[in-house]
Structures are given as structure tokens and as C-alpha cells.
A and B are shown apart, each in its own frame.
Chain A
Amino acid sequence: MYNLGQYFSRESPVHNRDPRVKIIAVIALSIIILQVNTIGLIVVTGGVIVVSQLAYLPLGSLLRTLRPVLPLFLCLFLLYIFFTPGRPLPWFPTGPVQITYQGLSLGIHQVGKFLLLVLGASILTMTTPQSEITIGLERLLRPIRVIGISSHDIAMMVSLALRFIPALLDEMNSISDAQVARGANFNPRRLSGKVRAISYLAAPLSVNIFRRCDELVDAMEARGYQQGQRTYLRELVLTRADYCLIGALTAVVIAVLV
């Protein structure tokens, strides 16, 4: 079962913050990271680790959230070190490929930044229940009403997507079980076989998704759903500490940008 970056129920100052503050913090983090140099990067990394410890998150499970993105970032790293022009490293065997100083430093920086961003997002999802993230998102997006899009609709879409991920995983497993039972091979050696196996899975899965959608739409309409304004079980209230944090984050972002 997929549960990386899933909510860790704890009582902590980070958990207790309004979800809006945490979402703003992640956005601020992504802006700051793109602007800082090596020292700044180390400072920000330290900050992220301090926050994760304030939230009583075990460092091990936090780092494990990086695992799915590691192959991608490894590729990125290799691209950076091999394809950045500059002064070659002397001890690297000469030949058609060369590693440059500039490439190495750029690779470490860029990959470090991305990993840090993933960590920040993981802290958000590990300290905030999904429902709070969606409500926070809804409140933050309210200004887009001026261009005629309701933030309630977007929050609804996000929460439905999150709600149906486990259901669809179940569905996929039962489809693949049914096909394995009839002799399908989901781990073929050849690439063409792999592609075919995926297509056998994708077609019935998408048909089922559309059927589910139909039923879901009926159920939602039957419960009075209409686009636009609605209310929620919880109302978010920003405390003074929340306001201070938002102010501080904004100040840091402005300082870094200027």
C-alpha cells in the first residue's frame, strides 16, 4: 500500500498551524530555494530539518519520501555533471566524456534544491490531514473568483482525486489479478510485452473509471451538489502566531528576491 508522505497524527506546533500557513511556507520555500547560494542552501536545509523535528517526524520516514524521486534526480545529476561545459576534473580518465568542476557543483546544487523541495512538501503532507490541505487550498484560491473560477470547485476536484486514489489502486489490483488468473504475464522480459501488459490494464481501468464517475456524479447531485458556494465541517481561523509566520515568510521571500 502506498503511504509515503502520509499524515502522521501528532500533537505539535507544526501540526497545529493553520494549513494555509504551511501551504504558504512550501511556496515560499520553493521561491527561496531557487535564489540562494551554497551557504543559503545549507541554512535552508537546516531550517527544514529543524521544522521536521519540531513536528516530531522521525527523520527516517521523512527521508524515505525521497525514495520514489531518487532515480529521476540521479538522471538529472548525471546530465548536469556530464553535459556542463567548463574546466575538466584532472583525475577523471580522459576520453570522450568529461566531468567538469562547474558540472559537479551545478549538479549537487540543483539536485540538492529539488530534494529539499520534496522534503518540504512531505513535511506539509505529513503534518496536515488531506482534508485540511484542500480546505486551506480553497481559502487561498478564493481570489481567483474574479476570473470566474470557483475555488470550491477546485477544492472539490482535488479532494475527489485524493479520495479515489486508494479505490483506483484496489481496482487496478483486482483487474490485474483477474488477468493473471487467466494467464496474463505482467512481468515479461521484453519491452513490447511490458507495453502490451500495461495496455491490457489501462483499457478496462479507464472504462471502470468512467463508470464510477457516472455513479459518483449521480450520488453528488442527489445530495444537492451544485457548483459554487458551499460550507465545510471545519472553519479555518488564523491565530496571531499564524499571521506572524505569514508575515515573516513574506519578509524572507522579499529579502531573498531583492
Chain B
Amino acid sequence: MIRIQNLNFAYEADHTPTLNDINLLINEGEYIAVIGPNGCGKTTLIRHLNALLVPTAGEVMFNDLNTRDSKSLREIRSRVGMVFQNPDNQIVGMSVEEDVAFGPGNFGLPAAEVRRRVDHALETVGLTGLEKRRPHNLSGGQKQLLAIAGLLAMDPKIIVLDEPTSSLDPAGKKNVLALLQKLKGQGIGIIHVTHNMDEAAIADRVLVMDGGKLIADGSPDDILSRVEWLKKLGLAPPKVTELMWRLQQVGEDVGSNIFTIEDAVNEITTLLAQLRSSTDYYMPRKVGGHV
């Protein structure tokens, strides 16, 4: 569990603060998406979660460990793992297995235990068989999976990801997102910073940030269906949600809390079925043929 109390943070003392009075409780095993326009403080916020940054004022607590306390630094960092945007710059090892071994090695685990954890982590992310490969030759998606494996080897409670899919191709994206769902199923909490609202839709909870403040906190249903509000913030709601919203605007009877193509298909077919069975349905079934 992470508890953030009155968190304020400024990169330089007399500048306007990057984070303003943030209060937040993150429960164990939650899948949280963090959205917000560029420069709203998302990255700054998540860097507080594993003590890469320390608050200017306020507290960030992981269970009962304070991120200000340098003695609990290692413990916090092994429990709260972080994946960065650029997959290239977070790989340390000269081979896939060595990179995964970097984290456990830092904690001084014996070689046999390191080996066990490396094999297990690579199996979880599906990179078994690539142990000896040079990380440099992996695809972007595989590099991000490798970065996640490096965290899993440290046995984390929460994994924080800063736009992990922004430089990946669709297949790579899909693999990473599927892995996140799988990890959530294993009870690992996920905090996923993203610009992509389709990715935010699969979370349990969505946080919206703007101007260094937390301006909304709710379920994807709540947040992503506020199409107009999101657009005003400079965020793009999921395409299907926006389509539904537009249909609502022209007076069709559809819900706007629809985030996937499947849901949209269901909603539209229901609507069409209603229309077909209603009395004022008079459209010709075949254009140009016998009616």
C-alpha cells in the first residue's frame, strides 16, 4: 500500500511547484492508469513512488516505510519497480539473463537464488530461450518485456510504468499490455502512466492530473465517458467512446461509457434491433430491389 499525504514538489526552490498538494492512497493489487496532458506532473509523481524523488513537503509512505529515510531505500525499490519510457536506456546487462540478474545481484542474493529468479522472471514474461541474446538485438517490445522481467526478479509488490508502450509497434504494445493483465492476476499492483485512453480503459482506476494537481480519481467508466471534459484537458478519449458521444449528441439512445469495439458493436446492434422492431421502421430492406 502506498500512502501519499500533502505531497508538494518543486524541482527548484523558488520555481512554481511541479506537484501541488497531492493526496492519494494506492491499495495492494490495484491496476491504476494515470493520464494527463504533457507537463502535468505525471512522471514527477510516479518518481516519488520509489524514492527517485523525495517530496519538498509532505510524505510518501510505502507500507510503513518513508521514502525520505535512506535506510529503507533498497527495500522500497525492490518492492516498487519502475519501467521507463525508453527501453534502450534501462538495460544494464550485456546479455538478457545478466540484465535480469542485475536487480537481485544488487541485493546481494546468492548466485543460485539469482539464477532461480532470473529463470522464473524470463518465463513469466515469455522471453525463455533468449537468455544469451544481446539486449541490443531485441525488438522494442521484447526490450520492454525484458525491463519488466528485471523488476519481477526483485519480487515487487507494485510495478510503475512510465508510458511503456509509446515507442512500440502494435504487436509489442499488445504483448506488454497482456503481460500487465497477467501480473495483475498474480496480485501485483500496476501503475500505468499513459497517453493512450484505450490503455487507460483496462485499468481498475483512473487518475487524471493537470497542472501538478490530481483533478479526478475514479473508475474508467466515470472518467473516460466525460468526453467533453477530457477534450478540454487536451486528452483524446477512446475513439469508440467519442463515436458514441457523437451519436448521443445527435439524439441517439446510446450510452457513452463504452470503451471497446465489442461493447460498441453490442450497443449499436441493440439499437438497430430496437429500430427494426419499432413501428416507424420503414427503411427498404434492399435498395433497388423488390420491397
| A interface, CB within 8 angstroms of B | 129-131, 134, 159-160, 162-163, 166-167, 212, 215-216, 218-226, 229-235
Contact = CB atoms under 8 A, between A and B. Distances in A.
Contacts of B101: 232-233
Interface stretch (B25-33, B107-115, B249-257): B107-115
A149 B41 CA distance: 39
B63 to A, nearest CB: 17
Interface in B90-144: 90-95, 97-98, 101-111, 114-115, 118, 134-136
Contact of B92 (A163, A229, A231, A235): A163
A225 B93 CA distance: 13
B103 A224 contact: yes
B84 A131 contact: no
Given A220-B102, A230-B106, A231-B105, 11 more contacts: A131-B93, A166-B134, A218-B47, A219-B84, A222-B81, A222-B84, A225-B106, A226-B74, A230-B105, A232-B111, A233-B97
B61 interface: no
Contacts of A226: 74, 106
Interface of B: 47, 50, 52, 74, 77-78, 81-82, 84, 86, 88-95, 97-98, 101-111, 114-115, 118, 134-136, 150-151, 154
B92 A160 contact: yes
A220 B74 CA distance: 12
Contact of B89 (A219, A224, A229): A219
A223 B98 contact: no
Contact of A234 (B47, B103, B111, B150): B111
A130 B94 CA distance: 8
Contacts of B102: 220, 223, 225
Contact of B98 (A215, A220, A230, A233): A233
Nearest to A166: B136
A167 B136 contact: yes
A160 B93 CA distance: 8
Residue from A129, A221, A223 having most chain B Cβ neighbours under 10 A: A223
A232 B91 CA distance: 16
Contact of A167 (B74, B88, B93): B88
A166 B96 CA distance: 15
A221 B80 CA distance: 12
A215 B86 contact: yes
Interface of chain A, main secondary structure: helix
A223 B95 contact: no
B50 A159 contact: no
B89 A220 contact: no
A231 B84 contact: no
Given A130-B94, A160-B92, A219-B90, A224 B52 contact: no
A223 B106 CA distance: 8
A226 to B, nearest CB: 7
Residue from A129, A167, A219, A229 having most chain B Cβ neighbours under 10 A: A219
A213 to B, nearest CB: 9
Contacts of B74: 224, 226
A231 B102 CA distance: 9
Contact of B90 (A129, A162, A215, A232): A215
Contacts of B98: 131, 233
A131 B100 CA distance: 14
A218 B134 CA distance: 22
B105 A222 contact: no
Given A160-B92, A163-B92, A223 B111 contact: no
A63 B52 CA distance: 49
Q: Across chains A and B, which 4 residue pairs bring their CB atoms closest together, nearest first?
A: A219-B90, A215-B89, A233-B101, A224-B106
28 contacts: A129-B94, A131-B94, A131-B98, A162-B94, A163-B94, A163-B135, A163-B136, A167-B88, A167-B136, A215-B89, A218-B47, A219-B90, A220-B92, A221-B77, A222-B50, A222-B52, A223-B150, A224-B78, A224-B154, A225-B106, A226-B74, A231-B108, A231-B110, A231-B111, A231-B114, A232-B111, A233-B97, A233-B118
Residue from B77, B86, B102 having most chain A Cβ neighbours under 10 A: B102
A222 B48 CA distance: 11
Contacts of A223: 77, 81, 92, 102-103, 106, 150-151, 154
A162 B134 CA distance: 12
B283 to A, nearest CB: 55
